[in-house]
Amino acid sequence: MNPTTTITPTVTDREQWLEQRLALLEREKALSRLSDELTEARRALPWVRMDKRYVFDTPHGPRALADLFEGRSQLLVQHFMLGPGWAQGCRSCSYMADHTEGMLPHLAARDVAFVAVSRAPLEEIERFRQRMGWHFRWVSSNGSDFNRDFGVSFTPAEVAAQSMHYNYAQRPYANDEMPGVSVFAKNGAGEVFHTYSTYGRGVEVMMGTYRMLDLTPGGRREEGLDDTMSWVRHHDRYEAAAVVKGASSCCGSHA
């Protein structure tokens, strides 16, 4: 649906609306209960000890993964698509990141640290961060295996073959970078563990705008788009932007 498309509603009286709204509420409650069950199952997953050492380039010098917790016991990582030499970060990852800063004090209050990680060199990260006006922590994994080991960066051979192991299966993609969110925990002895990662539509967990759009009559207005997120722009590019059918999102955003 194009943003200019006219919405043709079904109009009814308040009594009939309420009857249908209450029926929908029961379905919403069922979904909430299922979501709670999945959350419990997610927390019950076993942990994997991180025996491999990763070093990240940060504005304060080299830091190990354990250092990124900054005194907290849990760490959320956004695998942000910004590869070496890209002129700008992925639009979809930027859409995710736009929701981050308001969450930070609330995450910290629940013993959770946040950091974005990209394979681009730190100076390229900082240049794009300044353009976007973000202040959250963002570090470079350039020179380490971190992105590769967590399934978000791929070799030229994988890109050429349009075959990569992403989101726990072999996928017919042709991108050198893909998005994801990973979670880590640290115990009292300072040992770091990997507890969870999500990819694909799982990264919508960071896209609060989608949740608000889902409440509106027009919704996301992505029907008919070859790429569902082709309407998304960097937040400083919306005035001159138009929704273009078939425009690429992540894979073409660094051109």
Q: What pLDDT is attached to residue 239?
A: 76
pLDDT band at 253 (very low <50, low <70, confident <90, very high): very low
Q: What pLDDT is attached to residue 164?
A: 93
Cβ–Cβ under 8 Å, residues 132 and 235? yes
The residues that bridge with 78 in the sheet, in sequence order, are 116, 181
Q: What pLDDT is attached to residue 25?
A: 98
Q: What pLDDT is attached to residue 243?
A: 44
Q: What is the pLDDT of residues 80-107, one digit of tens each?
A: 999 999 999 999 999 999 999 999 999 9
Q: What pLDDT is attached to residue 250?
A: 57
Cβ–Cβ under 8 Å, residues 130 and 136? no
pLDDT at 54 over 70: yes
3-state secondary structure at position 213: helix
> What is the torsional sign of CA 219, 225, 229, 234?
negative
This prediction has a pTM of 0.90
Domains and CATH numbers, the chain: 43-206 (3.40.30.10)
Judged by average pLDDT, the poorest of 11-25, 169-183, 184-198, 238-252 is 238-252
Q: What percent of the chain has pLDDT over 70?
A: 92
* Alpha-carbon gap, residue 68 to 148, rounded angstroms: 19
Only one residue has tokens 């504005």, namely: 59
Q: What pLDDT is attached to residue 5?
A: 65
Q: What pLDDT is attached to residue 8?
A: 86
The pair phi, psi for residue 126, each rounded to 5°, is -65, -35
pLDDT at 61 over 50: yes
Average model confidence (pLDDT) for the chain? 92
Q: What is the pLDDT of residues 111-132, one digit of tens each?
A: 999 999 999 999 999 999 999 9
Q: What is the pLDDT of residues 145-194, one digit of tens each?
A: 999 999 999 999 999 999 999 999 999 988 999 999 999 999 999 999 99
DSSP run (H or E) holding 140: strand 138-140
pLDDT band at 226 (very low <50, low <70, confident <90, very high): confident
Q: What pLDDT is attached to residue 223?
A: 85
pLDDT at 244 over 50: no
pLDDT at 248 over 50: no
